[in-house]
Amino acid sequence: MQLQYFLFSYTLISIATISFATEYRYPVACLNNGATIFYIHQHAPMNIELFAWNIHTNTIEPILWSLFNPAGLQLLPNDSGFSFIDNGRLRIKSFQKRSPKTVDFDEPIFNINGLHWIDNDSCYCSGQQGDNFELLLLHNDGTMEYLFKKNKKDCMYPQKVMNTLFYIERSMIDNIFNYCIMQCNYMVNNCSSQLVINFYDKPIIFLHMLSQEEGFVLEYEQNIESSATTTQFLYHHIIKQSDHWEKELLFSFYIPINLLLPGEQRIYESLLPLLPQVVENKVYFVNCVQNQNNNLEPYYYDLISKTIKTIIVPKKDGHYFVPMICGDTFYCGGTICPGQQEPFISFLT
């Protein structure tokens, strides 16, 4: 069974309306040092809404009309609004305006991933044009520029650090996909790329660079047995030592397949709320193999001691998603359970 498409797609097709879909709620961004938390409430696999929770007044208000499905939310650099992907289109919502602006580009772009804002007018990302993914610079007036592309190769999940652009390259060699982490100069026309780490036939996604010498990347199972109920992910640390790069497997974790594939429990944003989060010297993640019901529970990996520790949270009949830090407090979303009062479980750093 192929899982790759579902790991980063926001445009899955719902075959039928699910009457008893599992509901989820999880934070996606925060403002004012954690005083306001934006969160997704998923009512059904194709129905999500965005809300803002003021933790001081304990008031909640909708931020978007319910007709939008806001995936991949990113705050603008000056915190004046945010962007999101809705049905494959980039939209920008100012906090001062009622409706979001739809950005229509002068050339068609599909399957946007790895979007990051450079300033309030421009962002970089990977997008598909034709058969391959390319690295693009998008402007909010609908114009675009090419940052980097390779013939018959996919360039995905870009990470800009200073004047260097890191990305994942996927190519076909002897009818087998091969994956590398590459780097090139940012905004230098006709520049060549350099190999950072070769993962060969091991599929990787969601590159995250902390600096020009350190980053993390997620490996996943490309083929899964049809009878499997979970799928394994591996989290790698890449670091530059002198003049060469090394990679180290930090830990692995398992996610229930029914959260990623079509069905009443699927997460609309797929893997996004389940991605490991690096905060200082810890990597926060979730895993489902420590209980009989395959419920996701939160953990962290200590980069100093190289040990995994359990995060103590109340037991519930449902999933916890990866905690997000807002101010000095972590907020942990997941399955909405009966009798749950506040939007999230919280704990201090």
pLDDT of residue 292: 80
Distances (CA, A) of 148 to 25, 104, 135, 158, 195: 37, 21, 5, 10, 14
Alpha helices, DSSP H, located in 81-135: none
As beta bridge partners, residue 330 has 325, 347
* Long-range contacts of the stretch 96-101 (C-beta < 8 A, 24+): 99/65, 100/64, 100/68, 101/140
Which residue range(s) make up the domain with 189? 73-215
Residue 209 maps to a domain: yes
Residue 161 maps to a domain: yes
CATH number for position 104? 2.120.10.30
Cα separation of 11 and 88, whole Å?
7
pLDDT band at 2 (very low <50, low <70, confident <90, very high): low
88-137 per-position pLDDT tens digit: 899 999 999 999 999 999 888 889 989 999 999 999 999 998 889 999 99
Residue 206 maps to a domain: yes
Residue 8 pLDDT exceeds 70: no
143-199 per-position pLDDT tens digit: 999 999 999 999 999 999 999 999 999 999 899 999 999 999 987 766 789 999 999
For β-strands 214-220 and 59-62, DSSP reports them as unpaired
Residue 335 maps to a domain: no
Residue 34 maps to a domain: no
The answer to which of 15-29, 238-252, 262-276, 300-314 has the lowest mean pLDDT is 15-29
Residue 121 maps to a domain: yes
262-298 per-position pLDDT tens digit: 999 999 999 999 999 999 999 999 999 877 889 999 9
Residue 89 maps to a domain: yes
What is the number of structural domains in the chain? 1
Helical (H) or strand (E) element with 47: strand 47-54
Structure tokens at 167: 């990305």
pTM more than 0.95? no
Residue 291 maps to a domain: no
